[in-house]
Amino acid sequence: MRQKLQSLTREELLQWLDLHGEKPFRAHQILNWIYVRMADDFDQMSDLSKPFRQVLAEHFYIGRLAVAQEMVSADATRKFLFRLEDGHTVESVLIPERDHYTLCVSSQVGCAQGCRFCLTGQGGLIRNLTSSEIVGQVWEVRKHLVHPTYLTNLVFMGMGEPLANYNALVQAIQVLTNSDWGMKFATRRVTISTAGLAPRLLDLGRDTRVNPAISFNAVTDDMRSELMPINRKYPIEQLLDTCRRYPLVKGRKLTFEYILFQGLNDHPDQARKLAKLLAPLKAKINLIPFNPYPGSEFQRPSEERIQAFQAVLIAKHFTSVVRYSKGLDIMAACGQLRAQHS
């Protein structure tokens, strides 16, 4: 049976080439064709001999994710529903910014974390994505774009908890950021959002140079555990201790995300507490007004309330930006992704 070529690591490909009497530089050629020149057929690899291309095609195929559905929002956000080889689906969201695109990538089918405000979490975890399925989302979207180089930023804030699928995540990051044969994304433009898997967060800092973003959302353990069950395992103090020990790349800050829920965590006193908790860290805080969905138990705070919260943080010398999610009308905004079709 033929194997999906992208499921091999570079080291595995090198071993296979060695076994078949081929020189190691062939690995660079093949990977460059797939990830840089976006080839999806061995016959396009014109600097490989025809007999060698045939051998490759006998053993491997170049896998692609099928686009089951593409929706375009009124604000030009595009949501892609990808069908995986086993029939499950995941979503990726392409967000147009002023001068570039950001792609929100999924790391799991479903999610086991069960955050109360998140649609993805409500169906539980179905399975982890493989590294090639994670990379495949980026690859397909890049292939879709008229100006592929405009896609410069990746955020792992789609379906799933990326750090709960750690090995596949790190392998995918290697392919996405390798500047020789990979997809050449700058590590400073790749953000991994976590609900707070503290031990894995330190691993991420050790193994990669991408940016972590911690989904924080509450300033007391009681409330955070209510909103995010993972807090029972890794409570606020442990999470912050991990953040203090995180090996930050020079010149960067840790990002904290704070979803604002009306009447729950949006009081200026809570902003002051948040500032106090994060004061020992090099931190910036993204405020995300909650995006209600049909049947959601939470509401979005008023504009006044959002700005009052932000003003407290700015007065305490934090960089704090309000992130208004895009793609609300096509359920592509933060926390709205769900494998409705799986």
CA-to-CA distance for 56 and 50, rounded, in angstroms?
Answer: 10
**Could you say which of 111, 210, 264, 339 contacts ligand SF4 (CB under 6 A)?**
111
With 0-12 / 13-18 / 19 or more C-beta atoms within 10 angstroms meaning exposed / middle / buried, residue 27 is buried
Give the DSSP per-residue string, 278-300.
HTTS-EEEEEEE----TT-S--P
CA-to-CA distance for 302 and 289, rounded, in angstroms?
Answer: 9
User: Buried b vs exposed e over 270-306: b needs ≥16 C-beta within 10 Å?
Assistant: bbbbbbebbeebebbbbbbbbbbbeebebebbeeebb
Residue 334 known to be catalytic? yes
Residue 91 known to be catalytic? yes
**Could you say which of 31, 48, 109, 115 contacts ligand SF4 (CB under 6 A)?**
115
31 or 197: whose CB is closer to ligand SF4?
197
27 is a contact residue toward ligand SF4 (CB under 6 A) = no
62 or 169: whose CB is closer to ligand SF4?
169
136 is a contact residue toward ligand SF4 (CB under 6 A) = no
Whole-number minimum distance, CB 20 to ligand SF4, in Å?
A: 41
190-219: contacts with ligand SF4 (CB under 6 A): 195
Total number of residues binding ligand SF4 (CB under 6 A)?
A: 12
Whole-number minimum distance, CB 111 to ligand SF4, in Å?
A: 3
CA-to-CA distance for 267 and 51, rounded, in angstroms?
Answer: 68
The two tokens of residue 131 are 């590294």
134 is a contact residue toward ligand SF4 (CB under 6 A) = no
Q: Which of 316, 248, 254, 261 is nearest to 286 (CA)?
A: 254
The two tokens of residue 10 are 């570079």
Residue nearest to ligand SF4 (CB): 121
What does the per-residue mask of binding to ligand SF4 show for 307-336, with x meaning CB under 6 A?
----------------------------x-
257 is a contact residue toward ligand SF4 (CB under 6 A) = no
Whole-number minimum distance, CB 89 to ligand SF4, in Å?
A: 15
Instruction: Cite the DSSP H helix spans in the chain.
Output: 10-19, 25-31, 50-59, 119-122, 131-144, 166-177, 198-207, 221-227, 230-233, 236-245, 268-278, 303-315
55 or 114: whose CB is closer to ligand SF4?
114
CA-to-CA distance for 146 and 129, rounded, in angstroms?
Answer: 27
Q: Which of 298, 299, 321 is nearest to 309 (CA)?
A: 321
35 or 290: whose CB is closer to ligand SF4?
290
23 or 232: whose CB is closer to ligand SF4?
232
163 is a contact residue toward ligand SF4 (CB under 6 A) = no
Site stretch for ligand SF4 (CB under 6 A), options 19-27, 83-91, 110-118, 128-136? 110-118
Query: Exactly one of 70, 91, 226, 237 is catalytic; which is it?
Result: 91
Query: Exactly one of 111, 118, 243, 334 is catalytic; which is it?
Result: 334
Chain residues in the site for ligand SF4 (CB under 6 A): 111, 113-115, 118, 120-121, 159-161, 195, 335
Active site amino acids: 91, 334
